[in-house]
């Protein structure tokens, strides 16, 4: 099922809905999440995918569920995969044995 609108990257949500409103710098947020500034920056700039470990860290820091963060990443990953133009033939029904 291809949706027309690209799902939002979880890094965008974290940056725009959490870090900016709290007035945190990337360095401060990285320290609180106990990750490197480089790791957090890559996520916030949508250069890396959200890992389960990072989802747990963000969930604890924001008092939200890690599953909700991973779901955002899964929706984006699936949308990106569906955009590929690979032609796939459907499986044929197998003959009864």
pTM: 0.85
* Domain span including residue 49: 10-77
The 10s digit of each residue's pLDDT in 25-80 is 999 999 999 999 999 999 999 999 999 999 999 999 999 999 999 999 999 999 99
Task: Kindly state whether residue 92 falls inside one of the protein's structural domains.
Answer: no
Q: Say if residues 39 and 30 touch (Cβ distance below 8 Å).
A: yes
Residue 47 lies in a domain: yes
**Domain assignment present for 86:** no
Residue 3: per-residue pLDDT? 56
Q: Are 40 and 53 in contact (CB under 8 A)?
A: no
Domain membership flag for residue 30: yes
How far, in Å, CA of 39 to CA of 15, rounded? 13
Q: Name every residue whose Cβ is closer than 8 Å to that of residue 29 and which is 6 or more positions away in sequence.
A: 19, 40
Domain count, the chain: 1
pLDDT of residue 88: 80
CATH number of 50's domain: 1.10.260.40
Query: What are phi and psi for residue 51, nearest 5 degrees?
Result: -90, 160
Question: Is 52 within a domain?
Answer: yes
**Would you place residue 17 in the very low, low, confident or very high pLDDT band (cuts 50, 70, 90)?**
very high
């Amino acid at each position: 099922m291809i949706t027309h609108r690209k799902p939002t990257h979880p890094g965008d949500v974290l940056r725009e809905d959490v870090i900016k409103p709290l007035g945190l710098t990337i360095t401060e947020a990285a320290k609180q999440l106990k990750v490197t500034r480089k790791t957090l920056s890559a996520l916030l700039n949508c250069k890396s995918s959200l890992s389960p470990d990072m989802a747990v860290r963000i969930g604890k820091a924001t008092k939200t569920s890690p599953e909700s963060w991973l779901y955002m990443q899964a929706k984006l990953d699936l949308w990106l995969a569906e955009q590929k133009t690979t032609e796939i033939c459907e499986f044929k029904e197998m003959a009864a044995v």
